[in-house]
Amino acid sequence: MNRDIEKNYDPKTLEDKWYKIWEERKAFSPDKKKDKVFSIIMPPPNVTGILHMGHALNTTCQDVLVRHKRMSGYNTLWIPGTDHAGIATQAKVEKKIFKEEKKTKHDLGREDFLKRIWEWKEEHGDEIVKQLKKLGASCDWDYETFTMDEGPNKAVRKVFTKLYNEGLIYKDKRIINWDTVLQSAISDAEVEYKEVKGKFYHIHYQVEGSDEVLEVATTRPETLFGDTAVAVNPKDPRFKKLIGKNAIIPICERVVPIVGDSYVDMELGTGCLKVTPAHDFNDFEIGKRHDLEVINILHPDGKLNQHAKAVEGLSAQAARKKTIEILKEKEILVDVKEHKHQVGHGERSDSVIEPMVSTQWFLNVQDMAKKSLQSVKKEKMNFVPKQWENTFFGWMKEPRDWCLSRQLWWGHRIPVYTCKTCEYEFSFESEPSECPKCQSRTLIQDPDVLDTWFSSGLWPLSTLGWPVQEEMDKKGFDTYFPNTMLITAFDIIFFWVARMSMMNIKLMNTVPFKDVYIHGLVRDKQGRKMSKSLGNGINPLDLIEQYGCDAMRFTLANGCGFNRGFNLDPKLIESSRNFMNKIWNAFRFISPFLRRKVGNYKISTRDIDIPTKWILTELNSTAHLMNKHLEAYRFDEAASTIYSFVYDKFCSWYLELSKPVLYSDDQAIVKKRAEILRFLFEELLKLLHPISPFITEEIWSYFYEDRLIINQDYPVLRQEYQFDHEHEKMAHFIELVTQIRNLRASVGLKPKEQIELEFFTDDKKTAEFIHENRHYLESLAQVKKGTIHNKDAKRPQKSTMATTSLVETFLPLEGLIDIAEEVARLNKQIDKVKSELEKVNKKIQNKNFMDRAPEEVVLEVRTKAKDFQTKLDALEANLSSLE
RNA sequence: GGGCCCUUAGCUCAGUUGGUUAGAGCGCUACCUUGACAUGGUAGAGGUCAGAGAUUCGAAUUCUCUAGGGCCCACCA
Straight-line distance from CA A194 to C1' B74, in Å? 13
A184 CA vs B6 C1’ separation (Å): 38
Distance in Å from B45's C1' to A604's CA comes to: 45
CA A630 to C1' B64, whole Å: 37
Asked if strand B comes closer than 7 Å to A848 Cβ, the answer is yes
| Prediction pTM value | 0.88
In the 28-87 stretch of chain A, whose C-beta falls under 7 Å of nucleic acid strand B? none
Write down the pLDDT at residue A2: 45
* Cα–Cα dist A592/A590, whole Å: 6
Query: Which residues 420-479 in chain A have a CB closer than 7 A to strand B?
Result: none
Protein CA A833 to sugar C1' B21 (Å): 9
- DSSP, collapsed to helix, strand or coil, labels residue A400 as coil
- Exposure string of A51-82, with b = 16+ CB inside 10 Å and e = fewer, is bbbbbbbbbbbbbbbbbbbbbbebbbbbbbbb
- Other C-beta atoms within 10 Å of A10: how many? 11
- Distance in angstroms, CA of A198 to C1' of B69? 27
The protein footprint on chain B, as nucleotides within 7 A of a CB, is 2-5, 11-16, 19, 21, 24-27, 30-32, 34-37, 39-44, 56-58, 70-77
Report residues 288-317 of A contacting strand B, contact meaning Cβ closer than 7 Å.
Answer: none
Q: Are A393 and A198 in contact (CB under 8 A)?
A: no
Positive/negative CA dihedral, A96, A99, A105, A111? negative
Strands (E), A750-804: 755-760, 783-789, 799-803
- Measured from Cα to the C1' atom, the residue closest to B21 is A836
Residues 6+ apart with CB under 8 A from A258: A207, A214, A229, A230, A231, A232, A239, A242, A243, A244, A245, A246, A247
Contact predicate A333/A213, CB 8 Å? no
Closest CA to A141 of A58, A293, A24, A273: A24
What average pLDDT values come out for chain A (883 residues) when binned by 10 residues?
68 90 94 93 87 88 95 95 86 84 84 90 87 93 94 95 94 87 80 78 83 84 86 82 82 84 79 86 85 85 83 83 82 78 79 86 88 82 83 79 87 92 91 89 91 92 94 95 90 85 92 89 73 72 91 90 74 90 92 70 79 93 92 90 93 92 87 90 95 94 88 92 89 88 82 85 87 86 87 83 84 71 79 84 86 86 87 84 74
A352 CA → B50 C1’, Å: 40
A245 touches strand B (CB under 7 A): no
In 3D space, the residue among A183, A206, A216, A199 whose CA is nearest the CA of residue A321 turns out to be: A199
Which stretches within A291-385 are classed as H helix?
A: 316-329, 366-377
Residue among A491, A496, A493, A489 nearest A520 (CA): A489
Task: Provide the Cα torsion A680, A681, A685, A688; round to 10°.
Answer: 60
Q: Report the Cα A578 to chain-centroid distance in Å.
A: 25
DSSP for A683-707, please give it.
HHHHHHTTTSHHHHHHHHHHHBSS-
Of A433, A415, A598, A519, nearest in space to A43 by CA: A519
Q: ipTM of this model? A: 0.93
Q: Return the nearest residue to B6, CA–C1'.
A: A564
Q: How far apart are CA A402 and CA A498, in angstroms?
A: 12
φ/ψ of A605, rounded to 5, equals -100, 15
User: Which residues are paired to A804 by β-bridges?
Assistant: none
A766 sits within 7 Å of strand B by its CB: no
How many angstroms separate the CA of A306 from the C1' of B38?
77
Torsion over CA: A168, A171, A173, A176 (sign): positive
Distance CA A642, CA A583 (A): 11
- Which nucleotide is closest to the Cα of A656 by its C1'? B36
Nearest C-alpha neighbor of A366 from the set A394, A395, A398: A398
Does nucleic acid strand B have an atom less than 7 angstroms from the CB of A731? no
Is any atom of strand B within 7 angstroms of residue A394's beta carbon? yes
For residue A654, say whether its CB is under 7 Å from any atom of strand B.
no
C1' of nucleotide B12: residue with nearest CA? A567
Q: Is the CB of A270 under 7 A from strand B?
A: yes
Which pLDDT belongs to residue A21?
A: 95
Which residues have C-beta within 8 Å of that of residue A74, sequence separation ≥ 6? A34, A36, A37, A38
- Distance set, CA A688 to CA A21, A342, A560 (Å): 19, 48, 16
Cα–Cα nearest to A222, from A195, A248, A252: A252
Q: Which nucleotide is nearest to A490 (CA to C1')?
A: B72
Q: Residue by residue, what is the 3-state secondary structure of A259-313?
A: EECCCCCCCCCCCEEEECCCCCHHHHHHHHHHCCCCCCCECCCCCECHHHHHHCC
Length A571 CA → B35 C1' (Å): 31
Work out whether strand A229-232 and strand A272-275 pair parallel, antiparallel, or are unpaired.
Answer: antiparallel
Whether A113 contacts A105, CB under 8 Å: yes
Nucleotide nearest to A269 (CA to C1'): B77
Give the distance between the most distant pair of CA atoms in chain A.
117
Q: Cα A227 vs. chain centroid, distance in angstroms?
A: 47
The reply to whether the CB atom of residue A738 sits less than 7 A from any atom in nucleic acid chain B is yes
**Contact present, A557 and A60 (Cβ < 8 Å):** yes
Nucleotide of closest approach to A648 (CA, C1'): B24
3-class secondary-structure state, position A398:
coil
Chain A window 663-702: residues with CB closer than 7 Å to nucleic chain B are 663
**Cα distances (angstroms) measured from residue A490 to each of A82, A119, A373, A536:** 19, 33, 17, 21
Residue nearest to nucleotide B18 (CA to C1'): A853
| DSSP secondary structure, A1-17, as one string | --S---SS--THHHHHH
| Cis-peptide into A467, omega within 30 deg | yes
